[in-house]
Structure 1
Amino acid sequence: MKISITGASGFVGSNLSVFLKEKHADLLLLSLRSEDWRDQLDRSSDVVIHLAGKAHDTANAASDEEYYNVNTELTKDLFKEFQRSGIRDFFYFSSVKAVADTVTGILEEEHSPDPQTAYGKSKRLAEEYLLSQPLPPGKRLFIIRPCMIHGPGNKGNLNLLYKMVSRNMPWPLAAYENSRSFLSIDNLHFLVWQMIHKELPSGIYHFADDQPIPTNQLVQLIGAATGKKVKLWNIPQKLISFAAQSGDILPLPLNTERLKKLTESYVVSNARIKQVLGIANLPVTAEEGLLKTLKSFNK
């Protein structure tokens, strides 16, 4: 099987490439930064997995134009080449942020998109373009919306919590009960491989582990991975909120925006992809995946 991958130098791309090679796939690593990428594209591939993109810049240093040029326009260009080629499957890795920055309840594929950032909007515009285009017979289009992906070697948003626990700092927000969905890199590999080899309908699919994880449980998992005693402080929410509001004025480590990010829930459903694959559970539980990732930080 021949598979072309864009964005193979990133965390997901590098890990997925190793996984696919172990499955004896014939890989072409395509760099869209190259001006002659169209000439390099293997039009006889079976699958193209489009991972390349401008990641969300939490420092807000990137311009809106950068997001649209990379996430929207390059995706359009690649899909046009796919339409004219003999390639069967097009995987576009979008993001749950193309739908919502905050979630009330559980985020499903039918949720009405309302992205708030240039990153999310650029991803959503790419989705809209792909869905509006005619799909030649025999071809499939998969729009993948993963939640926060993690795995060995990639701390991502886990880094702040990890540092606090590993340095024996208390977690002061234990009074908040929130849950978040994560996606282990191992489950991502499993899902992509299954989708390639099974007769699935084109469409949008959310990728997430089976179980959302409460932040307090995540802190305890970090303690288990590091061998540190976890300190959970149940400070009244009113006091925390007052401190955060003070941080909006004074140079304090906590402000209302940071408090929101640390305590809000973001739960993503993976029911659709499991239904079409005919499986009850993914191979790696959320807790197993997180422990594997967290233990890798110690090395």
Structure 2
Amino acid sequence: MILVTGATGFVGQALCEELDHRQIAYRPTSRTPRGGFYTSGPIDGKSDWSAALRGVTTVVHLAARVHVMNEAASDPLSAFRATNVDATFNLARQAAAVGARRFIFLSSIKVNGESTPPGKPFTSGDTPNPGDAYGQSKWEAEQALFQLGAETGMEIVVIRPPLVYGPGVKANFASMLRWVKRGVPLPLGQVANRRSLVFVRNLADFILVSVDVADAANRTFLVSDGTDLSVSELLRKLAENLGVRSRLVAVPPRLLEIAAVLLGKGAAAQRLLGSLQVNISETQQITGWLPPYSVDDGLRQTARAFLKENSQA
């Protein structure tokens, strides 16, 4: 039996669909009452997971306080730690106590850092360099889990994805879809950075691979679609799949950087203009995993879902 926390979230829904498709027994959790789900209530360092963990051999922990674009908390690091560190460790400690064999933790590439030089992707062996409270909390959770695993014998698997996209995606990726569909001119035609992405169904597939592969125990994995894109390439592909003309304006990236800094949007500009690549060769060597969907498959499915959703709005 697999326990899936955060089962109603973006990644959780895709994972549960894959578990259903493969007819694998699992127990999904939700903070609020939902048919067929274990109701966890608020997830914190004191949550009682005894009922949810009954008969569970593997925990896939997806529930988290995610990266917040417009942070409202007076102490963001404490807020992230409460959910991403304390609550995670509390669940893992209880899972180990009932004899769970493996604990799979969805972390973030933000543990590695915010950007990479072109052609020098992150690897799982790089020294962590989180640049914000979210990344720091994920790194602290990873360390606590590996320490617990060493003490109890429960196997720990950490997965650090880059930007995750797919049908129903929200936040920045959804904004890009709206901009492109509306034909908004975007000054990104000369951006030649490289960004790694992971289609949500590829991520779900890798999570299930990591459940059973013996050599995955006590390791950290980076995942992606295996093909990196520049932001300009990504926007052109989205336009093609949305059936509209790409409206990219060629503006030197350096001018965009200067303008963003002057407007106080330097961090947002970095995500659009900078590179962030991950090397998944070690992941593939250890687990034998190959992404079942190409980046073109993923973008096509994402665009179709967006068009369908907006046609019904």
State TM-score, norm by structure 2: 0.86
Is contact 1:209–1:270 with CA below 8 Å preserved after alignment?
A: no
* Counterpart Cα distance in 1 of 2:3 and 2:269: 41
* Counterpart Cα distance in 1 of 2:14 and 2:89: 25
**CA displacement, residues 171-218 of structure 1 (integer Å, 9 cap, x when unaligned):** 212122111111111111221222223322421111211111111111
Q: How does 1:30-41 map to 2 (within 5 A)?
A: 30=29, 31=40, 33=42, 37-41=48-52
* 1:95 equivalent among 103, 108, 111: 108
Distance 1:37 1:13, change over 3 A: farther
State, as a whole percentage, how many aligned pairs show the same letter: 26
Q: Return the offset for 1:16.
A: 1.0
Show the counterpart of 2:221: 205
- Check if 1:185 corresponds to 2:195: no
Give the root-mean-square deviation of aligned CA atoms. Answer: 1.9
Show the counterpart of 2:23: 24
* Counterpart Cα distance in 2 of 1:204 and 1:32: 29
Q: How does 1:102-117 map to 2 (within 5 A)?
A: 102-104=115-117, 105-117=120-132
Distance 1:132 1:42, change over 3 A: closer
Is contact 1:50–1:92 with CA below 8 Å preserved after alignment?
A: yes
Is contact 1:147–1:207 with CA below 8 Å preserved after alignment?
A: yes
Residue segments in structure 2 that go unaligned for 5+ positions in a row: 30-39, 309-313
Distance 1:98 1:226, change over 3 A: same
Q: Bigger shift: 115-124 or 80-89? A: 80-89
* Counterpart Cα distance in 2 of 1:245 and 1:74: 36
* 1:76 equivalent among 85, 89, 99: 89
* Counterpart Cα distance in 1 of 2:109 and 2:292: 22
Show the counterpart of 1:231: 247
- Check if 1:218 corresponds to 2:238: no
Residue segments in structure 1 that go unaligned for 5+ positions in a row: 249-254
Q: Return the offset for 1:246.
A: 4.3
Q: How does 1:98-137 map to 2 (within 5 A)?
A: 98-104=111-117, 105-133=120-148, 134-137=150-153
Is contact 1:225–1:291 with CA below 8 Å preserved after alignment?
A: yes
Is contact 1:143–1:205 with CA below 8 Å preserved after alignment?
A: yes
State TM-score, norm by structure 1: 0.90
Show the counterpart of 2:36: none
Secondary structure in structure 1 of the residue aligned to 2:15:
helix
Show the counterpart of 1:251: none
